[in-house]
Structure 1
Amino acid sequence: MSMDNPMTEHGKSLVERAKAIILKPKEEWPVIAAEPSSQASILKSWVLPLAAIGPVASLIGGQVFGYGGFGFSYRPSILGAITSAVLSYLLTIVGVFILALIADWLAPKFDGTSNKLAAFKLVAYGATASFLAGIFGLIPALSVFGLLGLYSIYLFYTGAPVLMKVPEAKAGGYVAVTMVCAIVLSLIIAPIVGFVTAMSFGGPAAMFEDEDVAESSGTVSIPGMGSINVGEVEKMNKRMEDAASGKTKPVAVDSLKALLPESLGAYQRTAVETMGAGTVGTSVEATYTAEERSFDLKITDMHGLGALASMGSALGIEQSREDADGYERTHTVDGAMQTEKWSNSSSRGKFGRIVADRFLVEADGDARNIDELKAAVASIDPDNLEDLAS
């Protein structure tokens, strides 16, 4: 094995495997399916090196060429650029695991088979085009060519029948729904990106304590932040499976709506909106108005995907920013993630918290001060939500 062309677990170099999966995916997927690999080995030999391409390219490109246009350009601070690169790298790795879980429990819905290792292979190798397209971040002006990473959708489409045994006639639907779930998932975890401030980071190898890190035991350590028990990932998967199979159901919108008060101090409830998204979850949102001020109070039942909400709390994520106009803060209170944001100039803010690792309760809009938004969230009794969940 050479450092210039490192080998994968089963003898093919990274370059050979990448060329094969990009140029001849229908021939390469059966080879991948037959390999007796593990999630941990795929992670270390494939995902870790390829997932680093985009963050490293963007880090170097931002420092060398800078960003901008129309006569304006800037270069991010080296500390900020490094922090952004490491965070992007970490979230890419976590995203592979989570999307694999989603792909696994969706497969039976399209007459495929559930197979966690096969799903991990599908996501890890199917993302090859997306990983490689990250190189365009080296020259920010060419970053638009990163759209070539969308070829990964085709790779996913050709791999689903082989790895997940989804009939070809249903492969398109399977891929489409998986991508939609990925988008929904990103909307849920996106706020975590802004919450994280990395204090110190180790190399990729420091993230894993043993060869079986991705199996049913062990931990994934994030130096300077905390660690994730891999067993908890399995529990998260179980919750998602139960949700998909119908063993558990989202709280009915009428039950959530009943928790919204008619008034909050001087604010009167002027509108109510409800939404149901099948097994994904439900939400209710009410608008409260007092004279010229108005804010929304929203309760979201994330159902099976709510298991992801505990990830930020487990890491003990904390972040704060303050300037002359206001502040933004995220921390964990009594084991639950909580975030608040306030702007003095606009008298507008947001306050939200996670309840029972499943519900998101948040108030967002115009108010006299942040305390009014906090009071609105506090009006929703956590005990009532826990009772509904049980």
Structure 2
Amino acid sequence: MNTVEDNDTAATSLVARVRNILLQPSVEWDKIALEATTAKEVFSRYVLILAAIPALAGLIGSQVFGVNAFLFSVKPPLWQSALTAVLVYGVSLVSVWVLSLVINALTPTFQGEKNPAQAYKVAAYSNTPGWLVGIFSLIPHLGVLGLLGLYGIYLLYRGLPRLMKSPVEKSTTFTLAVVVVGIVINLVLFALIAPVMGLVGGAGANIAANAPSEVTINGKTVDVTGLEAAARKMEDAAEKMQNAEAVKVVDPNVLEGLMPAMVAGAARGEVTTSANSAGQYSGSSAEAQYLIEDGNLNVKVTDIGAMGAMAALGTAMNVNSSRKVGESYEKITTENGRLVSESYDADTKHGKYSVLVAERILIEAEGDNVEMATLKSAVDAVGVTRAEKLIE
């Protein structure tokens, strides 16, 4: 009986820590700084559990949906997926330990106080968003949402001065140094296991010597000079996430009113609306169908409510990503402070184009046998400006 109670208490403690480090990081870091927990305890009670999320999600996702090989999916043998999951899990555990060594070693350079246990806590807890977004590996086509893992950079920014006792004014350069070294560490670790995973051709990074303000990994570019701006935006984001119940989403009937009557000469067809909630988080959406000659097009507008606050880091750090094979491509850009995502398969003429407006209203157009220009015109017809006014 006591064992059951202890397990329940541990589970509750884990959930509370995850929730608090994400929603009220400054307060939680202050609490962590005073805790007497050892690195071994953090490893066994926190890291071992959360680091398993992306590994398990990737294993299940690869078997159910296949592995995303550009614009199509391939289902690998079960043994290969299982081996990859084990290796990814192992690398994740090792990388936290190595990163903690780096943090501790760099601390005197930034006028802080060395402390191995505190350094491990910083490395472990700042990895929380990256592990949680690993759940998107269940559905490879949602992998773009993994960008939300960048929130870990903000947690690192907040945690370093509190646990390593470095001056706040050194936080930006301290964080940048840890991020860059951390990237190199992960590249080395994955390079060691790449021959086994068959990923040698896919692994790579470029930390430009003449432009240390940008870091590029496998096509994703992050402008780290936006860290301070990102920190300010993420403080607002964390507050909004914490007070999610106070965020009133747009009525789905209002979103329906944004649907254009015509797109590329095709009249609007069936329109569906919905409103839902999960815990304290709510969302609403409206979707319309259009038949364009031999093709079809769906236009959807979604208010993702308080969850949209998480996009603040992506826009503040000017995230960009791209892949191209022939005339087919996928890319994410930051345009006028908005995250824009588009993908197009030139062979099947299947494409998708979306714009995240005001870090909350997502306007999407997806269709078959249509040109990208048509998808973009559909989003334009909804009206970015009109969408922004809904939440002013």
Q: TM-score range by the shorter chain?
A: 0.5 to 0.7
Distance 2:290 2:383 in 1: 18
Distance 1:196 1:36 in 2: 18
For residues 152-167 of structure 1, the aligned pairs below 5 Å read none
State the partner residue of 1:368.
Answer: 370
How far 1:240 sits from its partner (Å)?
2.9
Which residues of structure 2 form unaligned runs of 5+?
Answer: 17-27, 60-74, 97-124, 181-214, 216-221
Pick from 147, 162, 186 the counterpart of residue 211 of structure 1: 162
State the partner residue of 1:320.
Answer: 322
For residues 106-255 of structure 1, the aligned pairs below 5 Å read 190-193=143-146, 209-211=160-162, 221=176, 222-223=179-180, 224=215, 225=222, 226=224, 227=227, 229-244=230-245, 246=246, 248-255=247-254
Does structure 2 retain, via aligned residues, the 8 Å contact 1:256–1:284?
A: yes
Say which SS state the counterpart of residue 368 (structure 1) adopts: coil
State the partner residue of 1:304.
Answer: 306
Which residues of structure 1 form unaligned runs of 5+?
Answer: 1-19, 91-123, 132-178
State the partner residue of 1:341.
Answer: 343
Stretch moving more, 205-214 or 377-386: 205-214
Distance 1:57 1:379 in 2: 38
Distance 1:312 1:263 in 2: 33
Say which SS state the counterpart of residue 352 (structure 1) adopts: strand
State the partner residue of 1:276.
Answer: 275
Pick from 348, 351, 354 the counterpart of residue 352 of structure 1: 354
Say which SS state the counterpart of residue 379 (structure 1) adopts: helix
Distance 2:29 2:240 in 1: 28
Distance 1:307 1:206 in 2: 18
Distance 1:190 1:230 in 2: 24
Cα deviation, 1:182-212, whole Å, max 9, x if unaligned, reads: 989x999852327999xxxx9x989964235
State the partner residue of 1:293.
Answer: 295
State the partner residue of 1:107.
Answer: none
Does structure 2 retain, via aligned residues, the 8 Å contact 1:196–1:319?
A: no
State the partner residue of 2:31.
Answer: 38
Pairwise CA RMSD of aligned residues? 5.3
Distance 1:36 1:325 in 2: 47
How far 1:291 sits from its partner (Å)?
2.2
Say which SS state the counterpart of residue 282 (structure 2) adopts: coil
Say which SS state the counterpart of residue 382 (structure 2) adopts: coil
Pick closer, same or farther for the CA change 1:374–1:89 going to 2, 3 Å.
Answer: farther
TM-score normalized by the length of structure 2 = 0.52
How far 1:368 sits from its partner (Å)?
3.0
How far 1:36 sits from its partner (Å)?
11
Distance 1:260 1:48 in 2: 50
Does structure 1 retain, via aligned residues, the 8 Å contact 2:29–2:163?
A: no
Does structure 2 retain, via aligned residues, the 8 Å contact 1:318–1:332?
A: yes
Pick closer, same or farther for the CA change 1:44–1:345 going to 2, 3 Å.
Answer: farther
For residues 7-22 of structure 1, the aligned pairs below 5 Å read none
Pick closer, same or farther for the CA change 1:40–1:306 going to 2, 3 Å.
Answer: farther
Pick closer, same or farther for the CA change 1:194–1:212 going to 2, 3 Å.
Answer: closer
Pick closer, same or farther for the CA change 1:57–1:321 going to 2, 3 Å.
Answer: closer
For residues 53-132 of structure 1, the aligned pairs below 5 Å read 54=51, 69=77
Cα deviation, 1:59-81, whole Å, max 9, x if unaligned, reads: xxx9xxxx9537989998xxxx8
TM-score normalized by the length of structure 1 = 0.52
Say which SS state the counterpart of residue 309 (structure 1) adopts: helix
Say which SS state the counterpart of residue 311 (structure 2) adopts: helix
**Count of aligned positions:** 264
State the partner residue of 1:104.
Answer: none
Cα deviation, 1:131-182, whole Å, max 9, x if unaligned, reads: 9xxxxxxxxxxxxxxxxxxxxxxxxxxxxxxxxxxxxxxxxxxxxxxx9xx9
Say which SS state the counterpart of residue 342 (structure 2) adopts: strand
Identity of aligned residues (%): 22
Distance 1:378 1:270 in 2: 18
How far 1:388 sits from its partner (Å)?
1.1
Matched residue type, 1:327: Y
Does structure 2 retain, via aligned residues, the 8 Å contact 1:213–1:230?
A: no
Say which SS state the counterpart of residue 281 (structure 1) adopts: strand
Pick closer, same or farther for the CA change 1:304–1:36 going to 2, 3 Å.
Answer: closer
Pick closer, same or farther for the CA change 1:361–1:26 going to 2, 3 Å.
Answer: closer
How far 1:30 sits from its partner (Å)?
11
Pick from 334, 356, 370 the counterpart of residue 332 of structure 1: 334
